[in-house]
Structure 1
């Protein structure tokens, strides 16, 4: 069978959750929301709410063992038909004997569309990471003006390089998913996730040698009651959604391919705790580097691609090596997430249109490629593309796929 091994399932689920949400969003959201207050709220919500929601999504996929559109109708059938459990052939993942299904419940799985939509702009950001790894890590900017100009150039002007880097990310993602669960998704995660942890632990050890580590630790874990606001609570909850890949069907699809008898509680705890560890390592490491060049942790979304290159430059001769290792780690984390975003849509095409895994992967990858090129075009400052309420296509897709807690802001 094309199922995950036990270790493969944990690594793949961990790879889905550990991406830019942990390495980019967590540090800059902590910086903007008071450090310790945000971190403590996040830890509490991740353990109290995140674990429960993650395991619930795992159970949904593991019981139904189907695509996102059929998961809820299958659960409905299992709950309403006394003989449905006997008819469901879990080992072959066959639902033919359960038909007819209640098609009105399929809309509950429409959240699967969020994965490809997110991927269309997430891969654009991953393209920036790839560009920085190739071209910037060995030519780090020495002042803030140069760093801002570099970021704005790749984001709004350099259509060719941005497109090539973006297309490379999508092509690699489609190739891995086309190879299936065992030979593609599991194999990649079994390689990249251990390497990611090794690189991050190494960078953390290096950060420990810098005087500013104590300042970073204090910022991350000092609890200031005056920084507690409703926005801090909402952003912490939103971070739980982002960091655990909740609500976009990726976890359910992976769980549908887990072995029968998989201990989902144990797997879920491993994923959440490992994700928390990576977030904390990323925060401590990044803020140490930021403080080293007298930067501020509250510098927002520019923290990763504007402030950090300057911080790496301030490290002297070791800065380029640290920069290369860091962007490799971010690239690894992002790639394990992009493949998880593509898989739910591929599963739907395979089940509903009888596509092969490869045909579904490359077809959906092609659609995302076109949408991503439009995102890049809309961001090009020279084209003066129309906006809606001052939002370009990147911003609109980001808004449409925002987890529910963020909409409360």
Structure 2
């Protein structure tokens, strides 16, 4: 069988979680949500709730050995066997890719162009980003095509030759690049400020917004709900120690988030930029900061964008795999055809989303005042992935009989550890997901 090795599974799963969420989203969320208070909540919630959900989806895949829909079907002991309909969440991956690959295309543009012509003022930096997103349609489409084609290529090559081989190269290089940038940041006078911003906890800053933001970041950063973990775990050895695998995914993921945060905020404070710059932190604030470093800034910008690109492509591959696996199992298509057909469809939809960002076309490509790019982002992250994560933890926690579940996990969870995991899965995790879902729905009204 075309299965992952033990290390390959860990690296592939790590690659699925370490994406733009850890390096792009985490720092700007920390910057706008209380700094150290947000970081503390994120770490605690990851270990208390995130790990239990991570293991639940891994258990499903490891036992069922099939695609997401059939995993629910094969493990469903109820009479009606309605759980297989949860398999619709496999559409979440391709939907996310329609806009995620666009953002990754922006990273490529900054890597190959902006890194060598950094903006010198905040106004020019804002203008550069706005021109790319709203005007330079051809450049966006070409960069988007490069990302989608790369994703399709690696997935079409299979679990062993494509996904595992890719992550064997990218994950070590990613850590080398970011550790190197962290070492450089440690030589700057503002390293202490960056460290304090990330790790000094002011409990007065913890409110409902910071709590929900931290809950959402945990969900976003672990690839829960997209079918990736179920699909990847289906290609592992039976009875693998999934707790150990989960720890090898969670701990390095947290480390890369913290490294990225400390490094970025050191640069931000060193050159008197604004830490709460929001999503524009990476594409507006940092290029301006790098410009103030002179030639070193150009080099650092290149390395940073390479690291971001590495993290992104490992995630795009993981988002495409569940749908490809589903098409392989459910149709006469082989992996090669399934990967490229889906990649073509993602490209077509993504081009439409790119046009929806252009002021000339926004009015034709908007629904209720929100352009199609923002709708794709909102629906996939807030609805499909959230419902997928809720379904998986409820199904494993309540839909599989306790004794059967115990037999699935007895080689790595025993006694109290099993009971704690099941309690988290049955009560803490569903409540967490429902809180996130309700908050996002109310926020959008």
TM over 0.5: yes
Whether the aligned pair in 2 keeps the contact of 1:37 and 1:223 (CA below 8 Å) is yes
Q: For 1:274 and 1:111, how far apart are their aligned partners in 2?
A: 27
Q: CA deviation at 1:130?
A: 0.5
2:342 aligned residue (354, 360, 364): 364
Match of 1:143 in 2: 121
Partner of 1:393: 372
CA–CA separation in structure 2 for the residues paired with 1:368 and 1:53: 28
- Residue number in structure 1 paired with 2:241: 263
2:217 is aligned, of 239, 247, 250, to 239
Distance 2:363 2:334 in 1: 38
Change (3 A) 1:70 1:136: same
Q: TM-score, normalised by structure 1?
A: 0.93
Give yes or no for the alignment of 1:115 onto 2:115. no
Q: Are residues 142 and 221 of structure 1, via their aligned partners in 2, closer, same or farther at CA, if it must alter by over 3 Å?
A: same
Which residue in 1 is equivalent to 2:257?
279
Alpha-carbon contact 2:61-2:232 (below 8 Å) kept: yes
Counterpart of 1:93 in structure 2 is none
The answer to whether the Cα contact below 8 Å between 1:23 and 1:330 also exists between their aligned partners in 2 is: yes
**Does structure 1 retain, via aligned residues, the 8 Å contact 2:125–2:285?**
yes
Q: 1:129 is matched with which residue? A: 107
One of 153, 164, 167 as aligned partner of 2:131: 153
C-alpha distance in 2 between matches for 1:361 and 1:309: 35
- Tell whether the 8 Å contact from 1:293 to 1:310 is kept in structure 2 after alignment: no
Which moved further from structure 2: 122-131 or 258-267?
258-267
Confirm or deny: 8 A CA contact 1:196 1:332 kept in the other structure. yes
Give the alignment partner of residue 165 of structure 1, picking from 127, 130, 143: 143
Which runs of structure 2 are paired with 1:181-260 in the superposition (5 Å)? 181-260=159-238
Q: Does 1:179 align with 2:157?
A: yes
SS in 1 for 2:89: helix
Indicate if the aligned counterparts of 1:235 and 1:406 stay in contact, CA closer than 8 A.
Answer: no
Residues in 1 aligned to 2:5 and 2:362: alpha-carbon distance in whole angstroms: 50
Partner residue of 2:82 out of 104, 119, 140? 104
Q: Which runs of 5+ in 1 are unaligned?
A: 81-100
Partner residue in 1 for 2:24: 24
Kept in 1, the 8 Å contact 2:148–2:343? The answer is yes
Q: Which residue of 1 is the match for residue 283 of structure 2?
A: 305
Per-residue CA deviations over 1:185-213 (Å, capped at 9, x if unaligned) read 00000000000000000000000001111
Report how many aligned residue pairs link the two structures: 387
Structure 2 match to 1:375: 353
CA separation in 2, counterparts of 1:364 and 1:226? 48
Q: In the alignment, is the contact (CA less than 8 A) between 2:362 and 2:371 conserved in 1?
A: no
SS of 2:239 mapped into structure 1:
coil
1:73 and 1:102 in contact (8 A); partners too: no
Gaps of at least 5 residues in structure 2 are: 387-435, 441-445
Q: Secondary structure at the match of 2:226?
A: coil
Cα deviations by residue, 1:101-147 (Å, 9 ceiling, x for unpaired):
96632211211111110011000000000011011001100100100
For the 8 Å contact 1:62–1:258, the answer to whether it is kept is yes
- Once structures 1 and 2 are overlaid, which stretch shifts more, 114-123 or 398-407? 398-407
- Residues 26-69 of structure 1 show CA distances to partners (whole Å, capped at 9, x for unaligned) of 00000101101100000000011111100101001111111111
Q: Contact between 1:292 and 1:314, CA under 8 Å: does it hold in 2?
A: no
Q: Secondary structure of 1:305's partner?
A: helix
CA distance in 2 between counterparts of 1:258 and 1:381 reads: 47
Which one of 294, 298, 304 corresponds to residue 316 of structure 1?
A: 294
